[in-house]
A = this chain, B = another copy of it.
Amino acid sequence: MDDLTEMLKGTLEGCVLEIIGSEEIYGYAITRRLNELGFVDVIEGTVYTILLRLEKNGLVQVTKRPSEVGPPRKFYALNDAGRAELATFWAKWEYISSRINKLREGGE
């Protein structure tokens, strides 16, 4: 599948929120998880900008822990604001995807 970056705008952040919501996890592993899930071209740099944004917006709790195989990891978990944002994301997704699918089937 060729370039999906434009279509991912606005949705990738929600995907990261969902992943963080299901388990406490660190940036590098989030990238691998996204790649496994089919978002094959998403790279570390992209995920880190999203994580920085989530932290800046107060949606996550961050915990630094040492690793046995490399530099220390920053583990992310959702706080209440993050869970609320995730719920909003899914509501928007539901809204938009239903409208687009309706348009696809001939509108109205």
Contacts and interface: CB of A to CB of B under 8 A. Distances in A.
Interface in A33-50: 33, 36-39
Interface in A66-108: 88, 90-93, 95-97, 99-100, 102-104, 106-108
B37 A93 contact: no
A22 B103 CA distance: 10
Contact of A93 (B7, B10, B19, B102): B7
Query: Which secondary structure dominates where chain A touches chain B?
Result: helix
A37 B1 contact: no
Given A10-B8, A11-B100, A90-B104, A1 B39 contact: no
Interface of A: 1-2, 4-11, 14-15, 18-19, 22, 33, 36-39, 88, 90-93, 95-97, 99-100, 102-104, 106-108
20 contacts: A1-B92, A2-B88, A4-B96, A6-B10, A7-B11, A7-B92, A7-B93, A8-B96, A9-B9, A11-B96, A14-B100, A18-B103, A19-B107, A37-B102, A37-B103, A37-B107, A38-B95, A38-B99, A38-B102, A93-B100
